[in-house]
A and B are shown apart, each in its own frame.
Chain A
């Protein structure tokens, strides 16, 4: 965990294992008549880190929200850690407890203190004793460098601090996968780095991560694979080096030229 040499290295990704964490097979989703996801196939290994990018409205958020059933898919299969997502409520709750999610707008619970935000899941879902949950919460708050704010309310923190709390809140559930939906795009520029740093540290510890982001620096240093989505399909997928230097599809090239200007 607190591996000194890892902290010095420029975040070289550890190799993913061979075990499958998430498997998505020919998954479709419609919003009414609108075909948002048009046959997604994706396998994520344990300890693998995937960055998803693509133009607005291409279905990135919808895709990762399907993985923890915040959106329901209508065709195909999603298997998370060996459990298939069906209408079975027990399965859904079990999967949600194993899959952490960080939102663009943090979504902290404003009526609870930072500490209470963090202990809510462990106490009520994992049935961890309160004392132990609080210890764990303080451990993760240290990790995101914000332990001194434990007694405050979310409304009293800056955006960057709130997002780090949100990450810690997910980590308190000791998830097997973390999903990030544009975690830095609601932040002021000077706060983006503090959040990305936390995410990079997380990556170094071997967390399985799926990150929707347009932070290409982050993708380069952390991702094993970058996926490009357009019109509800995964159009291109490659290692970050190949993806940025040698994009194959026209749409990818166009997108990259817009992002990197």
Chain B
């Protein structure tokens, strides 16, 4: 550090200062050149035209707690459509006096997700924690034991249903997708063909048709009297669908692995399973974090398609509120609320993936 104090050493050069205060930053980034200056001015003008009215609508002139009548008189946003119907939007037809149960289940889920963020906790014990947590959530939702009043899954709805479909869907689809990708790379012809056919078939149809099949066509093949829970069927459709896409992304990662990595692992005497688990997959899966997260995010949003088989996910409960004459016409407010919910989910996923990528990076010092 004390460069001047060292007589014979070469002078230690500091990197030149890059920022010269706010003015310097503004000049360097917003007004460097004629075209950029023009763009900056145009953008400022647009913001001036749109943002203040938006704020006025959303916050200043808005009403938060009133009946439908009060809303009609307000000039701003009618957030009352959300606040007055919040419990129905969130919990759907779950018995009103029992709604603390899905609420507790969701909080438990968030807690578990929060703990799982930290890679230091990625151990066997975390797995057990999840198993216990999921069991607890199942008991809370379903009831029937421990003095809890039983609630049929046909009454489940709203946000818990969306979370159930997406969290289970994604966590089950991911390992399945990895297995499919490995199968597609396999030397064994039978397994390989099976995986290729599966992946191509699933990718060839839209999720909607899979959902239809699972809810309408599939039951036709079941023997008389046997029924499989509707939520479960939708869940399976989502898992099968997402897994096919994940498989293709992971395959890309596997193909990107240099042959030397396989050879070095084999030369140590690691078998196929260990080579994959310890050497190949950790690297391949890391490379494909960004595209994988894209798939997970779109799968999360696609769970809203279950409305077409009459499951009451959070989008559907919102729609039903809006079909009530009292609240008709306030769809922007209601949908903005749902959009925020989805955004929070998607944003935290992509945020987390960036954090993970950074942590797993071994390039920097």
Please list the residues of chain A having a beta carbon within 8 angstroms of any beta carbon in chain B: 68, 70, 89, 93-94, 96-97, 99-101, 103, 105, 107-111, 120-121, 124-125, 153-156, 169-170, 173
Contacts and interface: CB of A to CB of B under 8 A. Distances in A.
A28 B276 CA distance: 30
B33 interface: no
5 contacts: A70-B263, A107-B263, A121-B268, A155-B362, A156-B365
Contacts of A110: 283, 362
B70 interface: no
Interface string B269-281: 1110010001100
A173 B268 contact: yes
Given A96-B269, A124-B278, A109 B264 contact: yes
Contacts of A99: 267
A105 B266 contact: no
A109 to B, nearest CB: 6
B325 interface: no
Contact of A124 (B261, B267, B270, B360): B270
Contacts of A101: 263-264, 267
Q: From DSSP, what is the main secondary structure of chain B's interface residues?
A: helix
Interface string B324-365: 000000000000000000000000000000000000101101
B261 A107 contact: yes
Given A70-B266, A103-B260, A107-B264, 10 more contacts: A97-B268, A101-B263, A101-B264, A107-B258, A109-B264, A109-B265, A111-B282, A125-B274, A154-B362, A173-B268
B286 interface: yes
B286 A125 contact: no
A95 to B, nearest CB: 8
Contacts of B261: 107, 109
A33 to B, nearest CB: 21
Given A124-B278, A153-B362, A156-B365, A107 B260 contact: yes
A96 B266 contact: yes
B283 A111 contact: yes
Nearest to B277: A124
Interface of B: 258, 260-261, 263-271, 274, 278-279, 282-283, 286, 360, 362-363, 365
Contacts of A154: 362
A236 B59 CA distance: 90
Given A103-B263, A109-B261, A121 B282 contact: no
B283 A125 contact: no
A147 to B, nearest CB: 19
A97 B267 CA distance: 7
B301 to A, nearest CB: 31
Nearest to B286: A111
B279 A96 contact: no
Instruction: For the complex of A and B, list the 6 residue pairs with the smallest distance between their C-beta atoms, beginning with the closest.
Output: A97-B269, A107-B264, A107-B260, A121-B268, A153-B362, A101-B267
A93 B283 CA distance: 23
Contacts of A111: 282-283, 286, 360, 362
A93 B360 contact: no
A103 B262 CA distance: 12
Nearest to A169: B268
B360 A120 contact: no
Nearest to A105: B260
A184 B263 CA distance: 18
Nearest to A173: B268
B124 to A, nearest CB: 15
Contact of B267 (A94, A100, A155, A156): A100
A125 B263 contact: no
B268 A155 contact: no
B348 to A, nearest CB: 25
Contacts of A89: 271
A125 to B, nearest CB: 4
A110 B283 CA distance: 8
B231 to A, nearest CB: 38
Nearest to A125: B269
A57 B304 CA distance: 59
B198 to A, nearest CB: 27
B101 to A, nearest CB: 43
Nearest to B282: A111
Contacts of B363: 153, 155
Nearest to A172: B268
B274 A96 contact: no
A111 B365 CA distance: 14
